[in-house]
Chains A and B, each alone.
Chain A
């Protein structure tokens, strides 16, 4: 009030330039007939929930990439790695349901109040269009995560649309963007969801609000006009307060809901894997209705009833001509509303309750296809060598060192480096050939079949096997010659590079700083460089993110610590690093400052190549297969991969590659030897689990939080596999453990050949 009188006298600084008071008057000071009411807040609540969807939606687009290859991984990234990503996605996901509920409440209220009656018909009709747009947003948003649920629900949804008479097919193709559900569907749905429909909604909301303000709030039917006039007050602040309080309650409810029930992300969509498609709960009644409508009646459920419903709803203000707003004097309209609402809610509940699911057989069938392929003939070593020459040698070199191209491609690995070989699991190599590796290595899954990729992985492994300089390796070359017959034998890698210099002293010279950090430093200094996990046991471990610590240490001090080790626990690295790498490592350590850098702990869920193609692989009879059999299931393979890399990341630094604990025994005399039979037998799996998760003694940190329970279980299997082979009749506990042991034996076999130079074991 004070402001206003001032402004009428002499406009202030802002008023003169913006005309703010007029805007305020139009926006906020419009009188409400009958005063503020809690019941009048639902429209504002809807507006608030829409604004929340806009904000969270915009945030999500920052990390979302709509394409078949990237949609699911980017949503997974948002959900699992982006800070607060789970909350923003949760709020957007559940916010959609919230909006549907609020829409229903708002509409029922408007209907009961008779707020659609003359002259407010258009306000109602715009509202119905808003409802349709919101449902359109729900439908288009459902596809975007590209998980199984999204894929199949949209496939069914598009199927329903295609049953629309005459234009159905066209409509489906138009929405789909292409002949099948794929990239073009995702980009189209994304555009509709993120630009077109929200734009339409904003326009409709402006019109809706304009019409609302034009005609004023609908007054309760039970109050007399005189009383209403007496109670009038401006929108601000009375009604705004009530709106804000309710919005706050809704928001807190939504946050709590999101914390308790995070938005789900299913498995990545796979058109070959059966899935029980279900739409979001508010479309369920329509979905279930189709169970009961057959043949010519089908279109009744997919098109006629919904269309009729919306047309009726849209034109309702002109159909209901009664001038009364008191519900007691509108029996037909109110009973229609009651029947309509009750049947919508009832059908929704009924549909969700009676929904029959058949999880078991479907899940069983989904696993079936894996073993469809059976061996048809072995791949000859000759063929592998030719394949390597053709596909790989141009970058990696015939001798596998990659030396020729390294000046241009610094990250290329040296296959003859033991350090590189030790840092890679068999599956990791296979995976990189299959999928490619950033930034330059292409994936070969389209070009080569599974056996060829496996054979190449073995070939890559063989580069590190040092032939004795005098006597050639006994059986390998001769075996090759026998098979090659009269043709001049393509020499296996060990022979191809006989002039290869002995593995150079700085064996890690060609690992990237991140690889070195992961392999040698991370177990103690943690992913974020803070070292907080081991601080209790090692109070002197520095915090790399601490700016004070960073400035107090010179580059040469850090270099000296890295090269010569420090204190009882930090091992010297000078036999593992060359001169230039130390500088890189120091730079890497520096970049942890202020928490700016975090090492990614796990390579995301591994897409494990599955056996396929007509010409599977069997190793030559006289050669030991170095890679586990392709028969292991995807899941087992992925778990083995994860456990192996976990062991590499967290355990190898102290326990050593063979689990003997040799590297640390001097400073940690009580470190166990995993290969020791009595020790293995005296500890139960549960004890292992507890030690991994909660730590042990003063030096073994707790890995709780870095390692999940399931991963810990797999790590236990890994530790068991490090032990001596089981005696005869005692069978391994699980299929997984057995597979693991098999892989470990093969690995040990390989390691035995590599052992003399294996760095951390010394």
Chain B
């Protein structure tokens, strides 16, 4: 079989080899470029991102919150989740500081270390992350363990006696607080 073909191809066959390789490369690229673009799309597109962040959500009358105690409240956020507008639940730690006080301290429960949900441990007067043992004091400051920054505060305001909270995601694992646009 091998004997049928000369060992070194002639110029005609070399040229054809070159052309075929080039054409095949172009063919491959024509598939690969859009495919890669499609795959990498989430990096640059606004796919599934809403223009403004989530809206303020009511979490209950201001008066019903205990004074000086942390309480976990949950509320719904609406966001564009791919093809659908989805409602999903979020929670926040809330503490009212004094009677008649119009402001309340609202902290995101997402640990600033790697994103586990922290919980309030009344017997230790601190927030503890169940994943890597991060500890935050009663004001949300990181005091022990790996978390790089204090707990993230969420925007809140009072409207007609109702406490309203706006959900926000933050970049985790870094010392400075960077909102993640959703």
Report if A and B associate in a common complex: yes
Can you list 29 A-B contacts with CB-CB less than 8 angstroms, sorted by A residue number? A68-B88, A156-B114, A156-B115, A158-B115, A159-B173, A170-B43, A174-B39, A179-B169, A180-B182, A182-B79, A183-B82, A183-B84, A271-B89, A271-B91, A272-B88, A273-B89, A273-B91, A274-B72, A274-B118, A274-B119, A277-B131, A290-B113, A290-B146, A293-B146, A295-B175, A357-B130, A358-B130, A361-B119, A374-B60
* A217 CB–B CB distance under 8 Å: no
Contacts of B84 in A (CB 8 A): 183
Asked whether B148 lies within 8 Å of A361 as measured between CB atoms, the reply is no
Contacts of A358 in B (CB 8 A): 119, 121, 128, 130
Partner of B114, one of A170, A183, A184, A290: A290
Interface residues of A (CB under 8 A from B): 68, 152, 155-156, 158-160, 162-163, 169-170, 173-174, 176-180, 182-184, 187, 270-278, 287-288, 290-291, 293-295, 298, 302, 356-358, 361-362, 365-366, 368-369, 372-374, 376, 445-446, 612-614
Asked whether B172 lies within 8 Å of A184 as measured between CB atoms, the reply is no
* B58 CB–A CB distance under 8 Å: yes
Contacts of A169 in B (CB 8 A): 171
Contacts of A176 in B (CB 8 A): 42
Asked whether B117 lies within 8 Å of A274 as measured between CB atoms, the reply is yes
Shortest B124–chain A CB gap in Å is: 10
Asked whether B169 lies within 8 Å of A180 as measured between CB atoms, the reply is yes
Asked whether A155 lies within 8 Å of B59 as measured between CB atoms, the reply is no
Asked whether B173 lies within 8 Å of A614 as measured between CB atoms, the reply is no
Contacts of A275 in B (CB 8 A): 116-117
Contacts of B113 in A (CB 8 A): 159, 290
Asked whether A369 lies within 8 Å of B121 as measured between CB atoms, the reply is no
Partner of B86, one of A68, A302, A373: A68
* B162 CB–A CB distance under 8 Å: yes
Contacts of A288 in B (CB 8 A): 132
Partner of A179, one of B115, B131, B181: B181
Contacts of B60 in A (CB 8 A): 372-374
The answer to whether A179 and B49 touch (CB under 8 A), given A358-B121, A372-B73, A614-B162, is: yes
Asked whether A182 lies within 8 Å of B146 as measured between CB atoms, the reply is no
Asked whether B82 lies within 8 Å of A290 as measured between CB atoms, the reply is no
Asked whether B58 lies within 8 Å of A613 as measured between CB atoms, the reply is yes
The answer to whether A182 and B86 touch (CB under 8 A), given A174-B42, A272-B91, A614-B58, is: yes
Q: How far is the CA of A298 from the CA of B83 in the complex (A)?
A: 36
The answer to whether A160 and B114 touch (CB under 8 A), given A68-B81, A176-B42, is: yes
* B33 CB–A CB distance under 8 Å: no
Asked whether B169 lies within 8 Å of A272 as measured between CB atoms, the reply is no
Shortest B118–chain A CB gap in Å is: 8
Contacts of A294 in B (CB 8 A): 145-146, 148
Return the chain A residue nearest B121 by Cβ.
Answer: A361
Contacts of A298 in B (CB 8 A): 146, 148, 173
* B136 CB–A CB distance under 8 Å: no
Return the chain B residue nearest A178 by Cβ.
Answer: B48
Partner of A291, one of B128, B132, B169, B182: B132
Asked whether B119 lies within 8 Å of A290 as measured between CB atoms, the reply is no
Contacts of B14 in A (CB 8 A): none
Asked whether B91 lies within 8 Å of A369 as measured between CB atoms, the reply is yes
Partner of A184, one of B48, B115, B146, B182: B48
Asked whether A182 lies within 8 Å of B82 as measured between CB atoms, the reply is yes
Shortest A176–chain B CB gap in Å is: 7
Contacts of B72 in A (CB 8 A): 274, 365-366, 368-369
Shortest A447–chain B CB gap in Å is: 11
Q: How far is the CA of A366 from the CA of B40 in the complex (A)?
A: 37
Partner of B87, one of A160, A357, A446: A446
Q: How far is the CA of A290 from the CA of B131 in the complex (A)?
A: 9
Asked whether A372 lies within 8 Å of B121 as measured between CB atoms, the reply is no
Partner of A173, one of B42, B122, B131: B42
Interface residues as binary, B43-56 with A (CB distance below 8 Å gives 1, 0 otherwise)? 10001110000000
Asked whether B64 lies within 8 Å of A187 as measured between CB atoms, the reply is no
Shortest B115–chain A CB gap in Å is: 4
Q: How far is the CA of A275 from the CA of B89 in the complex (A)?
A: 14
Asked whether A184 lies within 8 Å of B81 as measured between CB atoms, the reply is yes
Asked whether A178 lies within 8 Å of B115 as measured between CB atoms, the reply is no
Asked whether B128 lies within 8 Å of A159 as measured between CB atoms, the reply is no
Shortest B38–chain A CB gap in Å is: 11
Return the chain A residue nearest B89 by Cβ.
Answer: A272
Q: How far is the CA of A614 from the CA of B130 in the complex (A)?
A: 33
Asked whether A368 lies within 8 Å of B89 as measured between CB atoms, the reply is no
Shortest A535–chain B CB gap in Å is: 48
Q: How far is the CA of A361 from the CA of B126 in the complex (A)?
A: 12
Asked whether B40 lies within 8 Å of A174 as measured between CB atoms, the reply is yes
Q: Which of B87, B117, B128, B172 has the most CB of A within 10 A?
A: B117
Q: Which of A271, A275, A358 has the most CB of B within 10 A?
A: A271
Contacts of B48 in A (CB 8 A): 178-179, 182, 184
Shortest A275–chain B CB gap in Å is: 6
* B109 CB–A CB distance under 8 Å: yes
* B61 CB–A CB distance under 8 Å: yes
Contacts of A291 in B (CB 8 A): 132-133, 145-146
* B155 CB–A CB distance under 8 Å: no
Contacts of A290 in B (CB 8 A): 113-114, 132, 146
Interface residues as binary, B82-99 with A (CB distance below 8 Å gives 1, 0 otherwise)? 111011111100000000
List 7 additional contacts besides A159-B113, A374-B61; criterion CB under 8 Å. A68-B86, A158-B115, A182-B86, A273-B91, A366-B72, A368-B72, A369-B73
Q: How far is the CA of A295 from the CA of B97 in the complex (A)?
A: 31
Return the chain A residue nearest B91 by Cβ.
Answer: A272
Return the chain A residue nearest B128 by Cβ.
Answer: A358
Contacts of B130 in A (CB 8 A): 274, 276-277, 357-358, 362
Q: How far is the CA of A174 from the CA of B115 in the complex (A)?
A: 18
Contacts of B27 in A (CB 8 A): none
Q: How far is the CA of A743 from the CA of B32 in the complex (A)?
A: 63
Asked whether A184 lies within 8 Å of B173 as measured between CB atoms, the reply is no
Which 5 A-B residue pairings sit nearest by Cβ, starting from the closest?
A272-B89, A183-B82, A159-B114, A369-B74, A272-B91
Asked whether A356 lies within 8 Å of B133 as measured between CB atoms, the reply is yes
Q: How far is the CA of A162 from the CA of B118 in the complex (A)?
A: 20
Contacts of A445 in B (CB 8 A): 87
Q: How far is the CA of A204 from the CA of B16 in the complex (A)?
A: 32
Q: How far is the CA of A155 from the CA of B175 in the complex (A)?
A: 19
Return the chain B residue nearest A446 by Cβ.
Answer: B87
Asked whether B43 lies within 8 Å of A180 as measured between CB atoms, the reply is no
Q: Which of B59, B76, B118, B172 has the most CB of A within 10 A?
A: B172
Q: How far is the CA of A611 from the CA of B173 in the complex (A)?
A: 35
Asked whether A277 lies within 8 Å of B182 as measured between CB atoms, the reply is no
* B166 CB–A CB distance under 8 Å: no
The answer to whether A376 and B89 touch (CB under 8 A), given A170-B43, A180-B169, is: no
Asked whether B117 lies within 8 Å of A152 as measured between CB atoms, the reply is yes
Shortest B172–chain A CB gap in Å is: 5
Asked whether B128 lies within 8 Å of A274 as measured between CB atoms, the reply is no
Shortest A30–chain B CB gap in Å is: 24
